[in-house]
Structure 1
């Protein structure tokens, strides 16, 4: 692993743990056991590191999502697998990252928004159409409306003003929102499949 990748990996861990604003270039250099001179030879400033990490994270997320879609047997399994994937991220995520990115790193936030409204929205709508075709989702849902609602649900889960991190677990917030979403759009067949996947017995 070269210096650049080591810096990105270490900075990512610090950002996930403490947020973007609270981590300095000094902190990153210290954690790496590296001189600041060497650090600045690779990246000109923290903004450069944040934007590079954001690009890599979003690219990796797209690849993982595409793989997840192809491996899922149906639309419901696709969303439940996605929940597992996001739970891994949420377990490591400091909720202030999104807030810090919006306030202090607008270029990185713009990349995140483009990913959200281009890639993520398209995938949510694709899943809705898939579920309708598989008779797992109701045929009367308006996919363009419901898709955007679901997209904002994901954003809401990360808002510390709505869900203070000292009171709510991001992982549990996301789980509850996803299950409410799924139960709102599924047919009886889809509802039974959710219960089967989650080992829920309603008898």
Structure 2
């Protein structure tokens, strides 16, 4: 019998690739070679499966973020770049309808995603920017909270606007233009890292 973890991993891959609304439980069961009843053994309904899938995706990314922060604690600017580099590796495989479909059809899952997005921006990124500013790496006139709101809070909305930028540009180009160049513009001339 399939495990709950295996089912969740397949659901995450299917939902992000095709959109959570488009994939039915029948299709998911067929992909896994199980009956739909088996899905109900592990999850009450599709909404619960979508909610758990989003929570699991976020948890995976949080683990990556914690590792990045731990391994780059002496360079706050580089840490931000690496966090988004990893995030873009996740987003590259997301169909835009996955995130937009959450908002429309699965509000609880979207709230989980939105809370994570805000936590990442207003906690992790803002704290790193404040730390970099305290160390004298960011120009004194820069309002780091405003920078956070302008450049980091809605990254996925920009990347998935009218068309999916990940289908037009490679991840490095998107990282450079959405993250690196904006960070470079606010840092002091004496600061540099391998991305600058």
TM-score in same-fold range (> 0.5): yes
1:166 and 1:130 mapped to 2: Cα distance? 31
* Alignment-derived partner of residue 59 in structure 1: 59
User: Structure 1: which 5+ residue stretches go unaligned?
Assistant: none
Number of residue-to-residue matches in the alignment: 194
1:129 and 1:36 mapped to 2: Cα distance? 50
1:74 and 1:166 mapped to 2: Cα distance? 28
TM-score, normalised to structure 2's length? 0.87
- How many Å apart are 1:110 and its aligned residue? 0.8
2:4 and 2:44 mapped to 1: Cα distance? 12
1:43 aligns with 2:52: no
- How many Å apart are 1:106 and its aligned residue? 0.6
- Check whether the contact 2:121–2:153 (CA below 8 A) recurs between aligned residues: no
- How many Å apart are 1:104 and its aligned residue? 0.9
Change (3 A) 1:170 1:44: farther
1:95 aligns with 2:96: yes
TM-score, normalised to structure 1's length? 0.85
Could you give the per-residue CA deviations for residues 152-191 of structure 1, whole angstroms, max 9, x where no partner exists? 3413334332x4458634734343111231122111122x
Could you give the per-residue CA deviations for residues 16-64 of structure 1, whole angstroms, max 9, x where no partner exists? 2111121110111011111111112211222111101111222232232
SS of the aligned residue for 1:48 comes to: helix
SS of the aligned residue for 1:55 comes to: helix
**Coordinate RMSD, CA, aligned:** 2.2
2:170 and 2:114 mapped to 1: Cα distance? 20
* Alignment-derived partner of residue 140 in structure 1: 141
Could you give the per-residue CA deviations for residues 86-114 of structure 1, whole angstroms, max 9, x where no partner exists? 13212322122111111111111111111
